[in-house]
A = this chain, B = another copy of it.
Amino acid sequence: MQISKGVEWAVHAASMMVALPEGRGLKAAALAHYHGVPTAYMAKQLQALSKAGIVQSSRGAHGGYRLAKPATDISLWDITAAIEGHGPAFRCTEIRQNGPCGLKRKDCRSPCQIAAAFSSAERAFRDSLKAVTLADIGLQFVRDSEPEHLSDIMHWLESEVMPLSDTP
């Protein structure tokens, strides 16, 4: 029951994009370098975010990534699901149908209670992550950081940010 490293990277990268000025983007290499992680693997996570409609990508010279919708509409669950998939963590293989006392398919209209309990726990997990948006993360970050640190980030952004055409 481990969440892949890609989720952590994707959330940090997306959080960085919150600070981008309108109509501008960051290339995958810049996001990877900023967080000190391998470029190609970070790019893979960004692809997944792009497929999920969380970020927009622009190819070619001066290309890059930016958020595809307002930060208030992107939850941590959206990002987690984009990387890890939407499927349940607990996969019921219906072993109650196996063995000498196995139930017939007909008698299995009601779901296995064990699977139901895990499904309920996962719903609680999802709901908790759905309640936190990138806007929340960004706001908290600004509040809790030293002014000098925020200044450093702004300078880095100015040096790395790329103009990006408005219509991809």
Which residues of A come within 8 Å of B, CB atoms?
A: 1-5, 7-9, 11-12, 15, 33-37, 76, 80, 84-85, 89-93, 95-96, 98-103, 107, 110, 113-114, 117-118, 120-122, 124-129, 132, 137, 140-141, 144, 146, 149, 152-153, 156
Contact = CB atoms under 8 A, between A and B. Distances in A.
Contact of A84 (B1, B107, B120): B1
A1 B12 CA distance: 18
A138 to B, nearest CB: 10
Instruction: State the oligomeric state as a number of copies.
Output: 2
Nearest to A11: B114
Nearest to A83: B1
A29 to B, nearest CB: 12
A5 B93 CA distance: 8
B113 A140 contact: yes
A111 to B, nearest CB: 10
A139 to B, nearest CB: 10
A76 B119 CA distance: 12
Given A101-B152, A113-B140, 12 more contacts: A1-B1, A1-B4, A1-B84, A8-B114, A12-B114, A34-B99, A35-B98, A37-B95, A107-B146, A113-B137, A117-B129, A117-B137
A98 B156 CA distance: 14
A11 B114 CA distance: 8
Contact of A122 (B85, B92, B101, B125): B125
